[in-house]
Chains A and B, each alone.
Chain A
Amino acid sequence: GAVVSQHPSRVICKSGTSVKIECRSLDFQATTMFWYRQFPKKSLMLMATSNEGSKATYEQGVEKDKFLINHASLTLSTLTVTSAHPEDSSFYICSASARSSYNEQFFGPGTRLTVL
């Protein structure tokens, strides 16, 4: 089956620092990757959609200068939370889809970010 990994799984950082989260599709080429944010006991909120080699499309209300997304290859997308603040603490989940599996998104295991 299709596997998506995320790294790191947990990160604790000081306020004002930047944090990079990697999302990799391990055994398929991900034409599209999605980044979600999830608060405790809440559902997933789509932050942005990225296609390989092009700029990410951000959802309304998501600051693109704060959440930098790069989709440099068909197997890797990165989310950088710049100048993180405590309110950015959340569970960040990526997912990936491929042309051959149009009906499914494959989710990564998520990254728990805590900003002190």
Chain B
Amino acid sequence: GQNIDQPTEMTATEGAIVQINCTYQTSGFNGLFWYQQHAGEAPTFLSYNVLDGLEEKGRFSSFLSRSKGYSYLLLKELQMKDSASYLCAVRDNYGQNFVFGPGTRLSVLP
């Protein structure tokens, strides 16, 4: 079966660093994606990992450990506009199907 877990909600302070974890158990694996979604809007792509290690893109970094079925998204220098839901998604095998996690609602406080 397919199962992806994320914390439901997180709160952090403006300027701080926050790490959002994602664990997965899927029948296949061909990449893990992180998306940001503001309320009432469509998701926007943040990062993609297919090999173990850290991918850095500006204030956002994403880490993957395939052996542990684990990823995290790291957000640095938090801004108020970072308040959103963050979705972890796994692409199964070599198909195009994505399985999305439940999402983590991040609230950034002043």
CB within 8 Å of B: which residues of A?
A: 32, 34, 36, 41-46, 49, 91, 93, 97, 103-110, 112
Contact = CB atoms under 8 A, between A and B. Distances in A.
Contact of B97 (A42, A43, A45, A46): A46
Given A32-B96, A46-B97, A46-B98, A41 B41 contact: no
B70 to A, nearest CB: 18
Interface in B71-99: 87, 96-99
Contacts of B45: 104-106
A106 to B, nearest CB: 8
Interface of B: 31, 35, 40-45, 48, 87, 96-103, 105
Contacts of A45: 100
A44 B102 CA distance: 8
Q: Which of B42, B87, B103, B105 is the most central at the interface, judged by chain A CB atoms within 10 Å of its CB?
A: B42
| A contacts with B: majority SS | strand
Contacts of A91: 40
A41 B105 contact: yes
Contacts of A103: 31, 48
Contacts of B42: 93, 107-110
B102 A43 contact: yes
B48 A34 contact: no
A42 B103 CA distance: 7
Contacts of B102: 42-43
A44 B48 contact: no
A34 to B, nearest CB: 7
A32 B98 CA distance: 12
Q: Which of B98, B102, B105 is the most central at the interface, judged by chain A CB atoms within 10 Å of its CB?
A: B98
Contacts of A109: 41-42
A76 to B, nearest CB: 18
Given A34-B98, A104-B45, A107-B35, 13 more contacts: A34-B97, A42-B102, A43-B87, A44-B43, A44-B100, A46-B100, A49-B96, A49-B97, A104-B48, A109-B42, A110-B40, A110-B41, A112-B40
